[in-house]
Chains A and B, each alone.
Chain A
Amino acid sequence: MRNDIDNVRGPGRFPATAWSVLAGLASEDAGVRQRSFDALVAAYWKPVYKHLRLKWHLPSEDAEDVTQAFFLRAIEKDFFSDYDRSRARFRTFLRVCLDRFLANERAAAGRAKRGGEAQRLSLAFDVAEHELAAAGAVTTPEEVFDREWVRSLFSLAVEALRELCHARGKEVYYRLFERYDLADADAGRPTYRQLAEAFGLAETDVTNHLAAARRDFRRLVLEQLREITADEAEFQAEARYLLGVDAV
């Protein structure tokens, strides 16, 4: 089965230094630029696609094209170099860039022009479309964009947690996390006692393993957030938005 982020994530999907995605986009090193771009796309392509579908009511095919074109044009024309961290959060800036981009594209009778793009990103738009259909009641387009941004970051962190637990030989931590914390509340969440019986563990072990998995999940979310924010102040503000807490 196709993984919807495999094509935009490599082994070193996040550059090593803090704030490196935004800085990395301007790097002279092509490898750094590419990794930064991949990380940016991984975090933002779904919010962008769904924003186009919900705010601008683009048909799915057009939304796919504009999503592709937006990221490619952004890197080509260096859109993000204009980002002023004192004026807005990066995700807000990106959303404004997207809206402007679409307006310009429409003015230039964009579809024909977009058809000329030689390069294509491999993004699982069918998955995004399925998610849109399954999403809850829509509020404002801005809220949807922000919500999708949270969903992207958390989904990436869940994947990273799965890989981490596997690498450490602690699959049971992830499986408990998956059974309890990733369970849809509407479908019913098992009790710790039920989990203990199902996994053949003591109830205290369930508590401890879940605590450890959540701690790692939180750290992974914050690590990824640090990569796509511009500075400490934005990181702290976004951490508060994401987790409702200071990034401690």
Chain B
Amino acid sequence: MTWLPDTVLDHLRQVSDIPDLTGTSYEFVRLLGRGGMSAVYLVRDRRLDREVALKVVDVPDGAEPSGELAARLGREARILAHLDHPSIVPIYDVGQLGDGRCYYTMKRVQGQRLDEWVASAPPRPARLRLFQRICEAVAFAHAHGVAHRDLKPPNIMVGRFGEALIMDWGLAKFIAAAPASVASAAPFSGDADVRAAAETVSAGPWPGVGETGAGVLLGTPAYMPPEQIRREAPRLGPQSDVYALGVILYFLLVDRVPFDGSSAGEIFEQVVRGDSKAPRHHDPTIGRPLEAICRKAMARDPAERYATAEALASDMASDLDGLAVSAYQENVLERLGRLLGRHRTLVLLVSAYLTMRLVLLFWARR
């Protein structure tokens, strides 16, 4: 019997899991990652001689390859095709493998997952700037009528040049209609895009499937808003993503999630109760306005959250620029402190000038 060295065992473990790429123009390179319902592989596109990422759904034994999971992948592909944004990974191609499973290929993203990036202890300003870009990408998706619904650090990549890329749109859905404020903020005609995208999904060759309904709980416990845990599907929308963004901001500020437990049930209970410590409890150096932004994004009642991811991004930009934020009502002293901080150079110059005048005055009187 052939003796297999450890290196061969490892190789066999990897290649036993590869998709059958017969009939496609792709060549397997290696497994990049695996989620609960799909796997992403690095493949080489022989036509263009470049490496791309190929995502394919896992189909349980005996299940129909073109069933609901495949339909979800198809919907994800179409959503990505409609979202042309620097922070949303571009899709290249869709197709079907020999075993009937659907796949799509997308740009290969090189970098770190957000949680890995945070583990490397980047400074707070870098974290906040990255978060603002994440908010802007989510706002863009909302403006085009798409809610991500599974925002969390493992689904966000930080690229080699510090760019943020939102991945895994497998649970995304077309929301019925973008709020007026969102539509008006869209760089293109938001409502028309929403309708066009929705029509494409239902009319396309991908097997049709209803959107995730009220009876199905999909997502990641620590980042799921209370209304999603309570299965109030009609209330799921952009505000659900705003909530998840709030949790991500919390994570970026204090390196931990606000709700943690040994089981999903335990986390759900905490989320529904809103039972979390304020970021400043973990790190008093966090500014009150920043904490207020985080708490507003994570409000239990969707109506109390930012109405849009764009509003959240705007508050983040204000905070980064030293401007007042809508989430926090500052007192006179805080406003003075902020203004002094914002115009530090001017304040220093004026102070130096006045000091010099005082010294000259004092010296002249002697």
Within A111-150, the residues touching B (CB, 8 Å) are 127, 130-131, 134-136, 147, 150
Asked if B17 contacts A182 (CB within 8 A), the reply is no
Query: With the chains together, A146 CA to B183 CA distance in Å?
Result: 57
Asked if A207 contacts B9 (CB within 8 A), the reply is no
**A192-B27, A248-B59 known; A155 vs B16 contact (CB < 8 Å):** no
Q: Per-position contact with B for A72-90: 1 when CB-CB < 8 Å, else 0?
A: 0000000000000000000
Task: Give the interface centre of B1, B4, B8, B58 by most chain A CB atoms within 10 Å.
Answer: B1
Residues of B within 8 A of A150 (CB): 9, 13
| Interface flag for A201 (CB, 8 Å) | no
Taking a contact as CB atoms closer than 8 A, the residue among A182, A215, A245 that contacts B2 in the complex is A182
Asked if B21 contacts A217 (CB within 8 A), the reply is no
Asked if B12 contacts A217 (CB within 8 A), the reply is yes
**A156-B1, A244-B34, A248-B58 known; A214 vs B6 contact (CB < 8 Å):** no
Residue of A nearest to B6 (CB): A136
| Interface flag for A184 (CB, 8 Å) | yes
Asked if B27 contacts A248 (CB within 8 A), the reply is no
Query: With the chains together, A147 CA to B4 CA distance in Å?
Result: 11
**A131-B3, A158-B2, A244-B34 known; A207 vs B13 contact (CB < 8 Å):** no
Query: With the chains together, A242 CA to B17 CA distance in Å?
Result: 11
| Interface flag for B18 (CB, 8 Å) | yes
Interface residues on A, range: 35 or more
| Interface flag for B205 (CB, 8 Å) | no
**A184-B7, A207-B27 known; A155 vs B20 contact (CB < 8 Å):** no
Query: With the chains together, A148 CA to B27 CA distance in Å?
Result: 31
Asked if A245 contacts B8 (CB within 8 A), the reply is no
Asked if A135 contacts B6 (CB within 8 A), the reply is yes
Asked if A5 contacts B17 (CB within 8 A), the reply is no
| Interface flag for A96 (CB, 8 Å) | no
Residues of A within 8 A of B60 (CB): 246, 248
Q: Per-position contact with A for B53-72: 1 when CB-CB < 8 Å, else 0?
A: 00000111100000000000
**A214-B18, A217-B16 known; A159 vs B11 contact (CB < 8 Å):** no
Chain A residues touching B, majority SS? helix
A42 → B minimal CB distance (Å): 9
| Interface flag for A99 (CB, 8 Å) | no
Asked if B18 contacts A207 (CB within 8 A), the reply is no
Residues of B within 8 A of A181 (CB): 8, 11-12, 15
A2 → B minimal CB distance (Å): 10
Residue of A nearest to B17 (CB): A245
Asked if A244 contacts B21 (CB within 8 A), the reply is no
Mark B residues whose CB is within 8 Å of A: 1-9, 11-18, 20-22, 27-28, 34, 39, 58-61
Mark A residues whose CB is within 8 Å of B: 3-5, 127, 130-131, 134-136, 147, 150-151, 154-156, 158-159, 181-186, 192, 207-208, 211-212, 214-215, 217-218, 221, 242-248
A-B pairs with the 9 shortest C-beta distances? Answer: A218-B16, A185-B7, A208-B22, A211-B20, A245-B17, A155-B1, A243-B16, A136-B6, A5-B1
User: 21 A-B contacts, Cβ less than 8 Å apart?
Assistant: A134-B5, A154-B12, A155-B4, A158-B1, A181-B12, A182-B2, A184-B8, A185-B8, A207-B27, A208-B22, A211-B20, A211-B21, A212-B22, A217-B12, A217-B16, A221-B16, A243-B13, A246-B58, A247-B61, A248-B58, A248-B59
